[in-house]
Amino acid sequence: MIIFQRRNFMVMTAAWLLPGSQWLARPADAQGATDRASALIKSIGDQLVAVVNGPGGERDKRARLTAIIDSGVDVDGVARFCLGRFWRTASPEQQRRYMELFHQVLVNNITSKIGDYRGVRFQLGRTQRRDDDAVVSTVVERPNNPPTNVDWVVSSPNGDPKIVDVVAEGTSLRLTQRQDYASYLSHNNNNIDALISAMRQQVAEAG
């Protein structure tokens, strides 16, 4: 946090010291972006809690979760991040199939957890800037569980804020997934088709 404060301070100082109003515009823009990010997490969080704690069967909940994920998460961006350097070497056909499967894997992983999260509540904390992203801190509380610190990384490259990562107690979901795939690929001759068929099998097993 001290870093963010310092950076804000430096930006402000620069705004005062340097002539030209373009410098004055920056902190205000950043403020707008963090506000939008915070509002997005509030909205997505409320929707998720409503689905998890609400009525309805697993099928119904799954459909509603898919809709929430599609609207709030930059799934394509996360998918590209998780494939890392192999995204560049993949053929367009491989990229397309991978993307499609990744979407289903993500939805499956989230849906398979909802049973454990009944009675969940969350508290919105502060929002900070990190590089070009906004990091929204929340505390997630579940019955019979210690409170968990969950940070939501929100990116808005073209003004439209989207979730790009979820960091639970310091562990990043997308980084963990990327290292899982990287290790799988390195033990399968860096063959992207092997990864795709492993993902397909995962999706098939999840039903």
Partner 1 sequence: MPATSSRILVIAAVLMGGLSGCATPPPPDDPDAVADYKETNDPLEPTNRAIYAFNNALDTAILKPVAQGYRYVVPGAVRGGIHNSLSNLATPVQFSNDVLEGKPRRAGDTTMRFLINSTVGVLGFFDVASDWGYPNHDSDFGITMALWGMPAGPYLFLPVFGPSDPRDAVGLGVNAAMDPFTWVGQGAAVRALDWSRWFMNGVDQRERHLDDIDSIKKTALDPYATFRSLYRQHRTSQIDDARNDNRATIPVWFPQSATPGQVTYSPTASRN
Which positions lie near partner 1, rule CB under 8 A? Answer: 1-2, 5, 85, 105, 108-109, 112-113, 116, 139, 144, 146-149, 169-172, 175-176, 179-184, 186-187, 190, 195, 198-199, 202
Nearer to partner 1, 21 or 144 (CB): 144
Q: Distance between CA atoms of 44 and 182, rounded to whole angstroms?
A: 30
Neighbour-count burial for 105-133, b at 16+ CB within 10 Å, e otherwise: bbbbebbeebeebeebebebbebbbeeeb
Using an 8 Å Cβ cutoff, are 71 and 163 in contact?
A: no
In the complex, the smallest distance separating the C-beta of residue 102 from partner 1, rounded to whole angstroms, is: 12
User: Least CB distance from residue 105 to partner 1, whole Å?
Assistant: 8
Nearer CB in complex with partner 1: 34/128: 128
Q: How far is the CB of 72 from partner 1 (least distance, A)?
A: 21
Q: What are phi and psi of 91, to 5 degrees?
A: -75, 160
Distance CA 81, CA 90 (A): 13
Q: How far is the CB of 15 from partner 1 (least distance, A)?
A: 19
Nearer to partner 1, 70 or 180 (CB): 180
- Burial class of 41 by CB neighbour count within 10 A (0 to 12, 13 to 18, 19+): buried
